[in-house]
């Protein structure tokens, strides 16, 4: 499949992971529109400035972890004042903006949703495969997803700078939006008799992959159009999620190339 979808030029948006220390500095980073990859706040911390930060966090729907001061001290020895934010090296997108662009260009959407994939190297490997295959975008949840950090970037061979990554508040709501937009949801799961090779991927499709230990959530399975499993013939009953994603994505590419 030749994908002519023009991804946005991200050359000027690249930056390595940076840490921002201190409540005021973190507030300023959020106000300036920086993408916060992760945010750590010292457990038991209080004060009016912290209340201002928490109000901003709520307003911008940024997730954070309350941690003991020992963890913050392990991250840095600088004067962190009980708050450390990690700035993302990529700019996140919204699938509600990306999908219309794909349709407007006359292309058939091929999307990849990752539900609970938390290993950064798996994230990087999946992104590399997806970018090579011409997948239009990767969709991840704001909470419970692998951090996009230098390890993920390196494992992706830079693909995470090229393929749009959409970080969504709710995968369930996103799934329903995709269905309403004419995109079929195909869940890769062992909870079916249907093979990944029996699915028609020539229509607008979002492939959903889950965590290796628990798979795709029941909420997404309930609203999906198709369930499909990868045939297994050996004694080991599962594949690494990055390998599984590659198998399904390239079956979609194979079908689309045959049609063309």
Work out the average pLDDT over 227-245: 91
Work out the average pLDDT over 87-113: 96
pTM: 0.84
pLDDT in tens, 116-154: 999 999 999 999 999 999 999 999 998 889 989 889 999
Looking at residue 260, its pLDDT comes to 53
**pLDDT grade, residue 63 (50/70/90)?**
confident
Residue count of the chain, please give it: 260
Question: Is residue 14 within 8 Å of 161, Cβ to Cβ?
Answer: yes
**pLDDT grade, residue 76 (50/70/90)?**
confident
pLDDT at 102 over 80: yes
Work out the average pLDDT over 89-116: 96
Query: What CA–CA distances, in Å, run from 82 to 47, 55, 64, 114, 237?
Result: 11, 17, 13, 32, 45
What is the DSSP annotation of 195-216? BGGGS--SSSEEEEEEBTTTBS
pLDDT at 16 over 50: no
Looking at residue 164, its pLDDT comes to 97
DSSP-based three-state secondary structure for 19: strand
Strands (DSSP E) contained in 43-116 are 65-67, 83-87, 110-115
Identify the burial level of 220 via C-beta atoms within 10 angstroms of its C-beta, where 0-12 means exposed, 13-18 middle and 19 or more buried: buried
Q: What is the mean pLDDT of the chain?
A: 90
- Between helix 241-259 and helix 120-133 the angle, nearest 10°, is 10
Instruction: Give the rounded percent of residues in the chain with a pLDDT score beyond 90.
Output: 75
Instruction: Give the rounded percent of residues in the chain with a pLDDT score beyond 70.
Output: 93
**pLDDT grade, residue 212 (50/70/90)?**
confident
**pLDDT grade, residue 34 (50/70/90)?**
confident
DSSP-based three-state secondary structure for 118: coil
């Amino acid at each position: 499949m030749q994908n002519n979808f023009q991804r946005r030029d991200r050359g000027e948006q690249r930056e390595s992971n940076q840490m921002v220390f201190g409540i005021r500095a973190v507030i300023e980073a959020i106000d300036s529109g920086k993408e916060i990859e992760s945010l750590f706040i010292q457990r038991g911390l209080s004060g009016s400035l912290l209340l201002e930060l928490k109000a901003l966090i709520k307003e911008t729907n940024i997730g954070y972890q309350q941690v003991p001061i020992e963890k913050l001290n392990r991250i840095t020895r600088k004067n962190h004042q009980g708050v450390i934010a990690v700035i993302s090296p990529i700019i996140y997108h919204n699938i509600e903006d990306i999908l219309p662009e794909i349709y407007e260009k006359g292309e058939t959407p091929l999307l990849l949703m990752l539900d609970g994939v938390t290993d950064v190297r798996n994230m990087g490997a999946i992104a590399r495969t997806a970018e090579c295959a011409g997948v239009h975008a990767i969709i991840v949840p704001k909470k419970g997803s692998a951090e996009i950090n230098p390890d993920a970037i390196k494992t992706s061979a830079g693909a995470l700078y090229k393929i749009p990554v959409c970080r969504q508040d709710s995968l369930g709501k996103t799934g329903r939006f995709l269905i309403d937009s004419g995109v079929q949801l195909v869940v890769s799961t062992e909870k079916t008799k249907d093979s990944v090779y029996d699915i028609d991927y020539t229509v607008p499709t979002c492939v959903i992959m889950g965590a290796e230990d628990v798979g795709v959530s029941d909420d997404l399975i309930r609203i999906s159009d198709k369930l499909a499993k990868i045939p297994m013939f050996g004694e080991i009953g599962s594949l690494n999620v990055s390998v599984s994603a590659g198998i399904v994505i390239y079956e979609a590419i194979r079908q689309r190339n045959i049609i063309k």
